[in-house]
Structure 1
């Protein structure tokens, strides 16, 4: 908290990040329902904290794609799954990187690293539309750069042979199967994000903010275990877009809509479920 107070004094956080993962109150009596973020907050554009948060999202998504796609490449180039980390290793690389990156960037940008997470938090009015759009743009740019660096390391031949780590619906499954898997998988992720970062829960349990990145990363790991055989697991439109742009083959683009529509629907359902059912915020406001 001391560092944050110093940051405020020098004017770096004139527009503070909405609900960072590391924020907690001392007890239930200290909790106050935060007001919803304004739809448009043009003053953010004059604040360094706004651009700093966007840069943090870019770098985090870049590192996320770099580590995870390289892991996918390494598994695919092995002679057998047993001689590599296998599907479980891929799942761990995605979940572990989310854990590490959320931990690193939570106090700067909220640690979204995923347009679907940003969209869900925007629907819950945890951040402004201005910030949400900026985050999504920076996440997509970071993902494209991360996938591009992987291609540079692997070379065109190997990168295309192993399909660039791109997402598409695997044979034996329909597009409906893929869409459903992305909706449910993203629901699990975004619901976990809401639960792990709930300010009221943080007020009750002071240990939760420290552990918040852990359940989020673990949720990503579990969803990957379940859906890698179906779609390769997207649940993150930036991840799917970055790999598709660098790989740039028709079968990756044919299914690209699934990895945007599915995650956004799943995120919206998670936001509605948490805000209306779990927290009952509309009913409290009416009372």
Structure 2
């Protein structure tokens, strides 16, 4: 029996909510808290483990994209219809905003809470943001990291892959790897929805810079889909 559109929409909404709540939450709540903070490695694993958990929770329902760049990449690769991808993207963005909203509800009830620039785990670049990389570095990093991320997804979910049952684990661990390298550059997006959710609530520089995190991951995803379809999995 075919899964309904509502079930797929709900799965993508909830999956993206969990990704933002747990991933960004790890940075905001536990990322740097003196000797008890989880640090960069802990945040990296929080994002990756969120994907692993959701892959096994909702993968059989919607494929667990929880990322507009993935849905768009799937369209370009010929694995998904544009109309279906459109409502996936809507669900993902709404889920990310809801996840950021839940995170705000939790952290804003802490004593002496202050909504600072790039709050709630927002992505960004430039002066005042982490290692202060410029927009060129940010764009290149987001496009290249998304390119790599999509290659892993295409390969792990290929019908030719005999280890397909471990796809969720491979995809989640690749996201951990990307975060380990990229957090200091942009906080790592590779996912427009993940960036939009916190930015909508944080405002300020986070919302001004959102264009890069909407464009660069999609560029990387499209290029990855083209390379995968025309070079890596091309059949004679």
TM range (shorter): over 0.9
| Residues 109-124 of structure 1: pairs in structure 2 closer than 5 A | 109-124=62-77
Task: Please tell me whether residue 91 in structure 1 is matched to residue 47 in structure 2.
Answer: no
SS at match of 1:200: coil
> Residue 209 of structure 1: CA displacement?
1.9
Alpha-carbon separation, structure 2, partners of 1:218 and 1:77: 22
Give 1:152's aligned residue. Answer: 105
Give 1:272's aligned residue. Answer: 226
Matched residue count: 229
TM-score (norm 1): 0.76
Deviations 1:119-141 (A, max 9, x none): 10011121111110000000000
Which one of the candidate residues 187, 201, 214 is aligned to 1:232? 187
Runs of 4+ in 1 over 3 A off after TM superposition: none
Alpha-carbon separation, structure 1, partners of 2:31 and 2:62: 34
Alpha-carbon separation, structure 1, partners of 2:41 and 2:113: 22
Task: Please tell me whether residue 218 in structure 1 is matched to residue 178 in structure 2.
Answer: no
TM-score (norm 2): 0.92
Deviations 1:7-58 (A, max 9, x none): x2xxxx1xx6xxxxxxxxxxxxxxxxxxxxxxxxxxxxxxxx1221111000
Alpha-carbon separation, structure 2, partners of 1:51 and 1:237: 22
> Residue 77 of structure 1: CA displacement?
5.7
Give 1:25's aligned residue. Answer: none
Alpha-carbon separation, structure 1, partners of 2:76 and 2:121: 30
Deviations 1:200-252 (A, max 9, x none): 22xxx2xx121010110011000001110000001010000001001112x11
- What RMSD, in angstroms, separates the aligned Cα atoms of the two structures? 1.5
Pick the structure with greater CA Rg: 1
> Residue 76 of structure 1: CA displacement?
4.9
Task: Please tell me whether residue 169 in structure 1 is matched to residue 122 in structure 2.
Answer: no
Segments of 5+ residues of structure 2 without an aligned counterpart are none
